[in-house]
Amino acid sequence: MSTKKDKFSSRDKLYMEIALKLAKARYGHTGSNPSVGCVIVKNDKIISIGQTSISGRPHAEFNAIKNSTESLNGSKMYVTLEPCSHHGVTPPCTDLIVKSKIAEVIYSVTDIDIRVRNKSFKIFKSKKIKIRKGLLREKIKSFYSTYFFNRKKKLPYVTGKIAISKNNLIYSKLDRKITNTKADKFTHSLRYKNDSLMISYKTLNSDNPKLNCRLNGLKNYSPKRIILDNKLNTNINSFIINTANKSNTIIFYNEASKSQILNFRKRGINLKFSKVDNQGRFDIKILLKKLYKLDCRNLLIEGGDELTNYLLRNKIFNRFYLYESNKKLSKKSEYLHFNSLNLLKQKYKKKIKLKLNLGNNKITLYKN
């Protein structure tokens, strides 16, 4: 069993670092389940690895055990999160670990799920399997901060972003490009790491965005598109509508004619009715609860000034990325200012300038 006197070797740390990298690689793509990494070692040699499957099942431990071509008798398992011990869609990982005759389990963080929390420890102890925990605890606990938030609040973890020009514009009809290609890649990495992406119909109609991940080989991991459109004013010929199906696009609406609703549904849109306030704005907290029930766990919001201002005032963002370019946009035609900069600084006290090689662009992370 584990004690406070447990000491971890440099090799232990190396194996857990590998497990963490495996977990990070699946972040945002494991549905309602946390992304877990697992490494199995025998005679100080890695004999198998596993990570949580896309959509969440099978779990990392199951995959690592099934991936092994050697006997696991007497081996050690390194896993980022406490193995599950409850019967759900699949049998508990603890059963498989016991049957495989693994001699020692080292996990970093205790699961927050009440169906699991500390139960695996008791099971392994009763089966004479050595247990140690806490390896790289702070680092891995930080990685699971979004998962812990999901479980505690029953809400998606919300990330916001917006890009502003040197003259504080977020839109110019004559000069639409704000950030450079290096900053754009960071945006696509955010899209890869979030299972859903929300915008308003105004942004959709103005920019006709694709909202996908365009990093090499990762297009299939693009987030689900969430559109806020009170009266179904979304451009029916936009890219989003033309590439929509019920699994990749949701539009929240409140007021629309039967013909409008039928037209959108014919195009494969998943329409969701939701209440609005007297100013025609959705109650974002109600929407977040609905999205959580639809397995949305990590939500990226790429809003304009109006939506961003509303979300800042209601303290919806868990973290916010502000992109700043040294480029000035044209004011000779239609343009929009970012009027919420001071509000952003007021709401989020912690400000971290990301150390990224972005040339003449920079990104600052705001969070509490």
Catalytic residue among 17, 61, 70, 255: 61
C-beta of residue 291 within 8 angstroms of C-beta of residue 299: yes
State both tokens at 65. 């055990």
Give residue 288's Cα distance to chain centre.
Answer: 14
In Å, what is the CA distance from 59 to each residue of 142, 156, 296, 341? 21, 21, 19, 42
Before 223, cis peptide (omega within 30)?
A: no
Query: What H or E segment, with its residue span, contains residue 149?
Result: helix 145-153
Active site residue 61: yes
Q: Please write down the HEC assignment for all residues of 218-259.
A: CHHHCCEEEEECCCCCCCCCCHHHHCCCCCCEEEEECCCCHH
Maximum distance among all alpha carbons in the chain?
A: 75
Residues tagged active-site: 61
